[in-house]
Amino acid sequence: MGTKAHFKMMADYHLWAYQRLHQSLEPLSDDEYHRACGLFFKSVHGTLNHLLLGELFPISGLDQELVSSRPELAEAMFIQAQC
């Protein structure tokens, strides 16, 4: 497999993994989603924001802002995964 095909495969997997992750979180209420539950980044939302910033950092540096709403965070992660 060539380098281009390998990176395309990895990008496709990345998008698939994010879709599965967000589908698995759909049953959570907003309270459960935002509640501090002992995670390093306090909540599920905080952890997903960390993942998103980890995606954006290599691309655009530290000028990114945290996303405050659940739908905006999911949309931003999917958009970034498709880049």
Task: Supply the pLDDT for residue 83.
Answer: 59
The pTM assigned to this predicted structure is 0.63
Task: Provide the 3-class DSSP secondary structure of residue 27.
Answer: coil
Task: Supply the pLDDT for residue 6.
Answer: 92
Task: Supply the pLDDT for residue 43.
Answer: 96
Task: Supply the pLDDT for residue 19.
Answer: 93
Q: How far apart are CA 29 and CA 66, in angstroms?
A: 21
- HSE-up (13 A, CA, CB side) for residue 77: 27
Q: Which stretches does DSSP call E strand in the chain?
A: none
16-74, pLDDT tens digit by residue? 999 999 999 999 999 999 999 999 999 999 999 998 888 776 655 445 566 778 888 88
